[in-house]
Homo-oligomer: A and B are copies of this chain.
């Protein structure tokens, strides 16, 4: 059975892919708007995992609607959740099983149980969140054990494959860098997996 995993190349989506690889054929999917080349980061990590990688382009309207929401709110949470829902829906069109790396303790982009069931029913899809049964503390231990990662702040020059980077780019182009500083938390960090290994040094997948 094939499962499509929404993938940024960060530690949570890598751990998700590894967990699912025990029981499924895993395909990694990075959703983008075509503004930046940030998906290349994800593709590099996908190659390290040895798993097939797909880039899925979302409609410009999704980005516009997310940005409108973010400008109204003054913070990015609801806009990012909206993009994530559209990413899940678009992936649900091409795959019968979709998964992501959302964790039990995450605030964004967590769908409610009602939203999960709506997604599953509307698109006749199975939505799997393998990290939902784990605390952040447990996931941190696993990631420390299995990955070598690089952490970087959203505000640094590093461009990751998370939705946030294309959002920031468009808002910066349209409203200037000051708007970015008003909306996005400066200290928010992302991760990219540099290396992965199992306890005995063998391949993890």
Interchain CB contact under 8 A, A146 and B23: yes
Total copies of the chain = 2
Query: What size tier do the contact residues of chain A reach?
Result: 20 to 34
- With an 8 A cutoff between CB atoms, is A170 at the interface? no
Interchain CB contact under 8 A, A126 and B135: yes
A103 nearest CB neighbor, chain B only: B133
**Chain B contacts of A135 at CB under 8 A?**
116, 120, 126-127
A132-148 with Cβ < 8 A to chain B: 132-135, 137-138, 141-142, 145-146
Encode A144-163 as 1/0 by CB contact (under 8 A) with B: 01100000000000000000
Complex formed: what's the CA distance from A154 to B116 in Å? Answer: 32
Interchain CB contact under 8 A, B126 and A141: yes
19 further A-B pairs in the complex, CB-CB below 8 A; given A1-B141, A19-B22, A120-B135: A18-B22, A19-B19, A19-B23, A21-B22, A22-B22, A104-B113, A116-B135, A120-B137, A126-B135, A126-B141, A128-B133, A128-B134, A128-B138, A129-B134, A130-B133, A130-B134, A132-B132, A132-B133, A133-B133
- With an 8 A cutoff between CB atoms, is A70 at the interface? no
- With an 8 A cutoff between CB atoms, is A87 at the interface? no
